[in-house]
Structure formats: C-alpha cells, structure tokens
Structure 1
C-alpha cells in the first residue's frame, strides 16, 4: 500500500495537480491512514510515541470541511506542541529521581529540565478498564471537580475540531491555605489511537477569560496524561501523568515540590475511589 501512497503524493507535486483539492485531500488521508497503521505494528509504547509526534493530525485537521481561523490554528498548533514536548520528556528515561513511593505501588518521580524547570511524573495502575478511565478523564473532564477535592471546577471554553479544547480550571486552596486558590487557562490536545490515549496541555492566553478575582493565574505545561491497558491484564489501566506547573506568587520551592507531588498521589486515590463507586452500575456497558 505504501508504494501506491507515494505515487499519489508524487502526483500532487506537479503544479497543475496541486490545484485539485480532492486529490490533495485524498493524498493527506492516505498518508494519515498509512502512518496510523505503522504506529501500531510494534508492541512497545515507544513506537507509538514516535509516531504520534508526527504532524499528520494537524495536516488532517486543516483539511476538514470547516476551515479554521488563524487564531484557531494557533491553538491547534499549541496543543500539538504541548503533546510532542510532553512525550519527548517522558521518552527520556534518564535523570528521574524518586519523590514518593506508596505502599500500593504508586510512585512520583521528578527531574529538572533547563527550559521547563522541575517536572513530576506519576505512575499508577488503576483497577479499571481503559475505556472507564478514558471516559472519566477525557469525555467527562468537566465533572472532575465532583470527585477531586483539589479542583473546584473545569470548564471547556471552546472546542476546536475534534482534538483541541480551551479550558478554564479553578483549583482549591491547599489544606491550611499553604497555597491559595489558583486558576489556569489551558489549551488541551487529546489523541486516541486504539487503546492508547494522550491528553496533553499547556498554558495559553484566551481573551474571553481574563484573570479572575480571588485567584492567582498560574501556568501549567507542558503536561500530559498517558493511558494504556496494563500489559498482560487489559482489565487494568496504566496511567502516567506528567505535571509541570508554575504556581506564581512567592512560594518556597520546597513547599511547591511537596504540594505538587502530594497532589498527584491524592489524585490517584480520588480517581480510584470514584471509579470504584461508579463501576458496579457501568461495567456492563463498558463504562
């Protein structure tokens, strides 16, 4: 199939054929289909990471029936960059230091990057199938404040195409008001390829959501969550959460590090409790 695809691409390299929108669209679709096939022929996650970092998704989005404005395209590009940068960080295994290890196997690691600062990586296994976890974290993103006490509200401000959203998130103050209320405006990009999902994001500017009274506007990103069925046990889900946040304000680094690593551990516990409470009524319909 690949030789035929390359012939199609070669055809549109001639000027008189480049003007044929249908042919150009057909070529883009063919390329995307072939890349998707290649992305899932290997068993390991690294092959998928290498493939998802390609720009084929951005090319396809530009060829949708509804054209995007320059501003919308800039948000799509930001989301793609957040996804690729996050996966690049996760793909480099050296330099990570253990921050926290919990008795149930949950662990938080960290490393310091020159152009980002300190990043944290949570690795957990959730005793629920991939679809249940995916639906809760992606499809029902705006309901996260109902079960995660560290979040007051997540609101989707704008959807752009099928992969990109602009969100406003308000975070509650930490116990003892060590860290006061923060809010975040982010562009998020979600990619699902078969039984693997990456939800990435980073801070962005959005004119319709100025700084809110009573909150310090913090910035996050690059950050991402990677969801995959646990190898050898598809009834469980491996969740990796890369977290990078600039909380702003005058806070000692020691406090920031402690708060962020504990936030990740608490998130895993709240997610498990919520899924366990809702699983009996939803398991029969794949959540």
Structure 2
C-alpha cells in the first residue's frame, strides 16, 4: 500500500466516523451503568452491529489520548485487556499508519485469539478534539498468522473531546463494528461487545491515573 492509497482509505474512514458521531438516529441502548452508555444499531458495512460507547473520564484530553494513541510507544497493550500486542506494519507519518493488533482469547475462551490489520488515521480538530479512525486492509507484510483468526474491523475509532467548562475532564465517544470471523454463535458476539466496551472505560480511567497523573 502506498501513501496515496493509505491517505485515501484513512480520509474515507474518518469521514464515516464523523458521520456516525453526528447522526443521533437509530441508536438503541444495550448497556448502561457507572457513567458509561453503550448503544447499537445495524451496521451498513456488514451483517452485524455498529456499537457506540460514551462516557466522561477524569483527565485532560491530552492525558486520555496518551493512553489511546496508536504508535510505536502505544500504552494500549499495558492496560487494555483486549489487546495482547500492537505493532506498526508500515508508517507513513505520526498520523497515518498500517497496524496489526492481536487480541487474546475471550468469553471463557469461546472466542479464540484474533488479529486485525488496519489503516489508522489520527486527526486533530479546531475545538481540541482528537480522533482516531481505522478500517481493515490487506497488507503483504502481514499475512494471516498461525494461532490467530484474522478478524476485520469495519470503520471504527473514537473521539477524544474536551468537556466545556471542565478542563480536567474528557468526553470519549467510541465506535466499534468488528467482524470476528470464524464460526461464532451470534449470541456470543452480541454479549461480548457491549460488555467489553463498558469495561473499556473504567480500564482506561485506571490507565490515565496510572500513566498520566
């Protein structure tokens, strides 16, 4: 994949994420508690769900971003229980990369380890919001690996947003729509994602306190 292809793919997925962020229609709450709300609606990308998580974190947007940002010094594998490893396959700039993310087994090992290869674009907005947008790509340097089922992330990512009047807090909106592949019962998938997204927020909050205070 060359720079032009990666840039085009990154900008397209960023536009889709912005559309998700701005469109309030059709969301159904599937999990709520401890200040975190997880909603879903049918995906337009594949035969699954688009999930949206929303919550407020203690910490500035920059502190929260330090724990979320992709890159060679990513903290994700240190705190995110759904990330066992993260690597840069090809880097075009600090804001545009091809990445491979590996995940451990989950749901009492009903879900075996997965890996995902994505183009990831980081954008900064005038109001101080930082977004990361990702979608699956094929890359010659990262063929399927033994021991992992290759999954596919359809447009997903998050918005790290300043909270007006609360400089030490951050509004985080996250979107996931992932095809785990394999032969998984739909009931397992439908139970896994809302729970995983709800747990993501308190785990991130602990990471912010641990690594960024």
Given the two structures, how large is their TM-score scaled by the length of structure 2? 0.93
Shift of 1:162: 4.2
| Matched residue, 2:61 | 130
Higher relative contact order (CA 8 A, sep 6+): 2
State the alpha-carbon separation in 2 of the partners of residues 162 and 81 from structure 1.
Answer: 18
Is contact 1:142-1:156 (8 Å) kept?
no
| Matched residue, 1:234 | 167
Provide the alpha-carbon RMSD of the alignment. 1.6
Answer yes or no: is 1:92 the counterpart of 2:23: yes
State the alpha-carbon separation in 2 of the partners of residues 79 and 88 from structure 1.
Answer: 14
Shift of 1:175: 4.1
Answer yes or no: is 1:272 the counterpart of 2:205: yes
State the alpha-carbon separation in 2 of the partners of residues 265 and 216 from structure 1.
Answer: 24
Q: How does 1:131-146 map to 2 (within 5 A)?
A: 131-138=62-69, 142-146=74-78
Is contact 1:154-1:170 (8 Å) kept?
yes
Answer yes or no: is 1:105 the counterpart of 2:38: no
| Matched residue, 1:168 | 100
What secondary structure sits across from 1:213 in the alignment? Answer: coil
What secondary structure sits across from 1:142 in the alignment? Answer: coil
State the alpha-carbon separation in 2 of the partners of residues 176 and 113 from structure 1.
Answer: 26
Comparing 116-125 and 238-247, the one that deviates more: 116-125
Q: How does 1:7-156 map to 2 (within 5 A)?
A: 71-102=2-33, 104-116=34-46, 117-138=48-69, 142-156=74-88
What secondary structure sits across from 2:197 in the alignment? Answer: helix
| Unaligned ranges ≥5, structure 2 | none
Is contact 1:111-1:118 (8 Å) kept?
yes
Is contact 2:35-2:55 (8 Å) kept?
yes
Q: Structure 1 or 2: larger helix share?
A: 1
What secondary structure sits across from 1:93 in the alignment? Answer: coil
Alpha-carbon spacing, 1:279–1:143, altered in 2? closer, same or farther (3 Å): closer
Is contact 1:187-1:202 (8 Å) kept?
yes
What secondary structure sits across from 1:160 in the alignment? Answer: strand
Is contact 1:198-1:226 (8 Å) kept?
yes
4+ residue runs of structure 1 moved beyond 4 angstroms? none
Partner of residue 177 from structure 2, selected from 244, 256, 264: 244
What secondary structure sits across from 1:186 in the alignment? Answer: strand
What secondary structure sits across from 1:176 in the alignment? Answer: coil
Alpha-carbon spacing, 1:250–1:148, altered in 2? closer, same or farther (3 Å): same
| Unaligned ranges ≥5, structure 1 | 1-69, 281-287
Is contact 2:27-2:41 (8 Å) kept?
yes
Count of aligned pairs: 210
What secondary structure sits across from 2:54 in the alignment? Answer: strand
What secondary structure sits across from 2:69 in the alignment? Answer: helix
State the alpha-carbon separation in 1 of the partners of residues 97 and 45 from structure 2.
Answer: 25
Given the two structures, how large is their TM-score scaled by the length of structure 1? 0.70
Alpha-carbon spacing, 1:98–1:126, altered in 2? closer, same or farther (3 Å): same
| Matched residue, 1:284 | none
Give 1 or 2 for the bigger CA radius of gyration. Answer: 1
